[in-house]
Amino acid sequence: MSRQSELAFAHQEQIIAIGDRLARRAARIWRQERDLPDLNLSWMHVAPMLQELVAAAQIEAASLSQPYLDAIDESYNFVPAQASIEPQVFSNVMGDGREVAPALYGAVTNTKTFIGRGMEAGRAFEAGANFIAAVASAALHDMSRNADRVLAAGKTYTRYIRVVNGSACSRCAILAGMYSGPDAFLRHVSCQCGVVPITINVKTPAGLHDSPGVYFDSLSKAEQDRRFTNAGAEAIRQGANPVSVVNARRGAYGIGYSGHSNLPNVNRASLHPIVIGVRADGTPLQVYATTEGTTARGAFYKGEQKAQQHATSQDRYRRTTTLRLMPEQIAKMAGNDPERWRALLIRYGYLDAPR
């Protein structure tokens, strides 16, 4: 194990612990309301609590980026460019730019749908709890990874390795590898993979995996069997490519990689700054969002747009009224140019660094 892999796995474990605790607490808040007959009414009560809980966990996780990456710098004897992030900038938003409470509101619609299909109310409510836990956890992991990647970009790292370790992420084994620049980070729902930046001339630090085969070989036989199924693991041990084995199984698991493909196309002209807080020095903390003009590809956004026209203030916990400009969209704007990405991250409020 290299110092870098020790740091990366320790960081990932901390984030997974925060995510697991968040998921449990969020589901518990949802369950408190189960006796109320009117789900919409109870949502107005629990939504602010859930939103606050998720935001606090996101801030806690984003606060760990700085010590993590400072230690990584030191492990390489790398003197980075000056950069810091404001953890709050990585809170109160989903990885795809939606607000958190409206994303969690799916628990209400799901529960109603299940009940409508004849599911027993208790079970339907529990399905809602699972939804809440999964979405809260996704909000945490996506934004923690964003914080790490934005800060790493600020420090002028241009390459990173995916940290595949969480047991939820055997499917990500086939994505093990080295990435350059601001390339999009593929992930599935509840993906717990992390990132560790590497310097230009460094070989893959021991303990990290720069290919699916290397990742597979790093596991014990029991772990190989557990994560790839007995038959799948045996096929790989006999020489099958892990990528084709996992891809063959993918259908069975219903996995579609989400991520940058779900992001709405934010039209630069429709962006406007929104103030989300205050810095220690009293200046406003600003990010960018759009309320319109998202030429959405998916039906979701089209439906969302329509609903927004009738949005009232009471709806703020049920409908997304603003879509935040996210680091991955900024990467697209930058055209995969790391320097431009860094400059745009500064301009759009994600990164504090000298230009």
- Shortest distance in whole angstroms from residue 249 CB to Zn ion: 15
For residue 172, state whether it binds Zn ion (rule: CB under 5 A): yes
- Shortest distance in whole angstroms from residue 242 CB to Zn ion: 15
- For Zn ion, which is the closer residue by CB, 125 or 215? 215
Binding to Zn ion (CB under 5 A) within 69-128 occurs at: none
- For Zn ion, which is the closer residue by CB, 31 or 249? 249
Angle, nearest 10°, between helix axes 3-32 and 65-76?
Answer: 170
- In sequence order, what are the residues at sequence separation of 6 or more whose Cβ sits closer than 8 angstroms to the Cβ of residue 168? 190, 191, 192
For residue 173, state whether it binds Zn ion (rule: CB under 5 A): no
Distance CA 86, CA 54 (A): 17
In this chain, which of 7, 132, 169, 236 binds Zn ion, going by CB under 5 A? 169
Instruction: Please identify, among the stretches 81-89, 121-129, 147-155, 166-174, the one whose residues bind Zn ion according to the rule CB under 5 A.
Output: 166-174
The sheet carrying 272-278 orders its strands as 272-278, 284-290, 323-324
For residue 174, state whether it binds Zn ion (rule: CB under 5 A): no
- For Zn ion, which is the closer residue by CB, 109 or 167? 167
In this chain, which of 47, 85, 140, 193 binds Zn ion, going by CB under 5 A? 193
Q: What is the DSSP string of 176-217?
A: -SEEETT----B-TT---EEEEE-TTPPPPTTS-SSHHHHHH
For residue 191, state whether it binds Zn ion (rule: CB under 5 A): yes
Burial of 17 (0-12, 13-18, 19+ CB in 10 A): exposed
Instruction: Please identify, among the stretches 165-173, 200-208, 217-225, 242-250, the one whose residues bind Zn ion according to the rule CB under 5 A.
Output: 165-173
- For Zn ion, which is the closer residue by CB, 188 or 318? 188
For residue 16, state whether it binds Zn ion (rule: CB under 5 A): no
The contact pattern for Zn ion, residues 285-324, with x = CB under 5 A and - = no contact, is: ----------------------------------------
Residue 24's φ and ψ, nearest 5 degrees, are -65, -45
142 by DSSP, 3-state: which? helix
Q: Within 13 Å and on the Cβ side, how many CA atoms surround 284?
A: 7
Q: Give the footprint of Zn ion on this chain (CB under 5 A).
A: 169, 172, 191, 193
